[in-house]
Structure 1
Amino acid sequence: MPIDPYILLLLGTVGLAALLPARGAAADVASGASTAAIAFLFFLYGARLSTREALDGLKHWRLHVTVLACTFVIFPVLGLAARGLVPVFLTDPLYQGLLFLTLVPSTIQSSIAFTSIARGNVPAAICAGSFSSLVGIVVTPLLAAALLGSTGGGFSTDSLVEIVLQLLVPFVAGQLLRRWIGGFVARHKKVLGYVDRGSILLVVYTAFSEGMVQGIWHQVSPVRLAGLLVVEAVLLAVMLALTWYGARALRFDREDRIAIQFAGSKKSLASGLPMASVLFGAHASLAVLPLMLFHQMQLMVCAVIAKRRARDPESPADNAPATAAASRTAVDAAPRSR
């Protein structure tokens, strides 16, 4: 099963922060650079998202509502249910990170890639991931305010305002300027991708440096990490099953079910890390640890599932909803005899 090279870079950044954490004036510089990098990151997100594609994708509204419900309703409900695992499997800080994981939006790139490999509805996956990221800029902080409250590292109205100024305003600015810079962003997609990832690495370094200075890593033991991995494996398995069989119950065809499964069962590291740095402050390192582990786990498991879906022949049950709908349409369209 694949190991994402970027995860190795993230782990290397965590190691660097553990050995050489930013302190004093260096910490202030790193914090300011991290804030600027996050704003620029969401500015690029806004510049990349095609408004026309987003509006066209609204035509398949049932699929998008299903994905959004999985991401921002079912996931958080399961996160709240995990409260019962404290303190047997999880410490309270790790649970807060797990709950935050359930609040962040879905991924875009990996959902598209796995949907394509599995021969699913790729345009739907593109729109579903884009909608989830856009909605998450507003919904994730609101859910964090409601479910995490003051336990989430000091979340307050000021944190919500900071989220708006640091994430939403740059995103809107990118959308407004897309008419003039969209072509440049598209032509230099690969180079700007390195900027994206570099920004996230800077956020991780800053967050984990603060954690080292605060000494919060003494709260985590190997046994607790093992418990966290077990809980996340169960969470992922439940969401993969719900998105696949739930989509069948809602009478989606096979291609749509594939898109729903891969878009509705994932959580975005790229969106979650910047939000955590704003919401949790010095406690962000523990808050993002569950998200980093879940991100790698979902890539490994979904890569296997996507390859199996690509090899499996389409069964009549997979296409039953579409076949039934087509039959009803043909009957309705046929001339009626007297």
Structure 2
Amino acid sequence: MALRTILADPMLRLLVAAVMLAAILPIPAAHSGVAQSVSNVGIFGLFLLNGMRVSRSEIGRGLLNWRFILPMVLWVFGAMALAGLGLSKLVAFGLPPLVATGFLYLGVLPSTVQSATSYTTLADGNVGLSVICAALLNILGVFVSVPIFLLLGGTGEVAIGMGTIERIALILLLPFVIGQLVQGWTSEWVAHHKMRIVWLDRLVIALAVYVAFSGAVDQGIWGKLDALAWGMLAVGIALFLGVGNAGAWAASGALRLPRRDRIAFLFAGGQKSAAVGVPLATILFAPAEAGFVVLPLLLYHFFQLVLAAPLASRLSSATHLRDGGDYAAPTTRS
């Protein structure tokens, strides 16, 4: 039942379709530059809309809850980044260097927004705090994920120079800032076209996955991953899931947060965002490299949903038992 629910997720279906299409019908190398340019235009629009959607007042409210936000930032961009670095070293002997580097890249990314808040709702956690926290982490991730990646030695097999930094500034940071500046004039339009914007987000991310994996297929990704490599990849994903989820729960307990806040901390702290990670990777790395680097991210994205569904159900049941069945689940705005 949980797996059926996960596969009903439109974003996940689009990601699977993009990978399958790249495997069967990759973009020819001669046209990769054009495809990357089209993807970059879509990513610019995606982050422009993100800037329009994230309310400045919500950002302010989130920043006031420093007892939750500060530890969460340190967990997501500190502890998880170091875990990614450690795993990239652990699996390096059995994986191509770019795939091993993908674990460090995975570690420095922010958490999801939609699935983190959805599973917080299902688990009877603090939904409002989850929404604000996940939004703040995604905004912060646009600014800090790449510097942390570089600081931890994440260049690996690739060269990241000023040209790459300029592309990140122009394609990710500039549109987000513009979106924040025009938010007062566009809020009604964004609210009116909410569902169309959600689907545009999904299609842009799927396009970025298709472009990235086309480059990896052109470089022979399937031939470079033997049985040992797939095994090491599975071990790395399992370990990272364990660190992310068990560690976030333990950290929230050590902070003595209320149970509903602990649940929000768990799902925001243990999940990683493909919505930020994939577009960023297509700018940070060449098409021939990006597909290798995002492979751990895409697998982690799938299995974090596989784990989150039964985990949310278990937490919800435990909450009801603890409160004698009288606990009322929080409601969210549609």
How has the CA–CA distance of structure 1 residues 185 and 219 changed in structure 2, closer, same or farther, with 3 Å as cutoff? same
Indicate whether 1:94 and 2:99 are aligned.
yes
SS of structure 2 residue aligned to 1:104: coil
Given candidates 134, 141, 160, the residue that maps to 2:165 is 160
Determine the C-alpha separation between the residues in 2 that align with 1:174 and 1:86.
40
Given candidates 209, 214, 233, the residue that maps to 2:214 is 209
Determine the C-alpha separation between the residues in 2 that align with 1:98 and 1:24.
26
How far the C-alpha of 1:213 sits from its partner, in A, is: 2.5
Sequence identity of aligned pairs in percent? 36
Indicate whether 1:13 and 2:18 are aligned.
yes
Residue deviations 1:53-105, cap 9 Å, x none? 11122221111112111110001111122244244443322210111000111
What letter matches 1:36 in structure 2? Answer: V
Size of the aligned set, in residue pairs, is: 317
More moved, 199-208 vs 16-25: 16-25
Q: What does 1:313-332 align with in structure 2 at a 5 Å threshold? A: 313=319
What letter matches 1:205 in structure 2? Answer: Y
- TM-score normalized with structure 2 length: 0.90
Indicate whether 1:293 and 2:302 are aligned.
no
SS of structure 2 residue aligned to 1:151: coil
CA contact (8 A) 1:153 1:280 kept: yes
Residue deviations 1:288-336, cap 9 Å, x none? 110000001111111111111111136889xxxxxxxxxxxxxxxxxxx
More moved, 212-221 vs 13-22: 212-221
CA contact (8 A) 2:104 2:154 kept: no
Q: What does 1:1-338 align with in structure 2 at a 5 Å threshold? A: 1-2=2-3, 3-4=6-7, 5=9, 6-23=11-28, 26-151=31-156, 153-281=158-286, 282-313=288-319
How has the CA–CA distance of structure 1 residues 149 and 88 changed in structure 2, closer, same or farther, with 3 Å as cutoff? closer
Structure-1 residue corresponding to 2:329: none
SS of structure 2 residue aligned to 1:312: helix
5+ residue gaps, structure 2, are 324-334
CA contact (8 A) 1:70 1:265 kept: no
Determine the C-alpha separation between the residues in 2 that align with 1:190 and 1:316.
37
Determine the C-alpha separation between the residues in 1 that align with 2:309 and 2:110.
20
5+ residue gaps, structure 1, are 318-338
Residue deviations 1:180-206, cap 9 Å, x none? 111111121111111111111111111
How has the CA–CA distance of structure 1 residues 149 and 93 changed in structure 2, closer, same or farther, with 3 Å as cutoff? closer
How has the CA–CA distance of structure 1 residues 149 and 255 changed in structure 2, closer, same or farther, with 3 Å as cutoff? closer
How has the CA–CA distance of structure 1 residues 201 and 316 changed in structure 2, closer, same or farther, with 3 Å as cutoff? closer
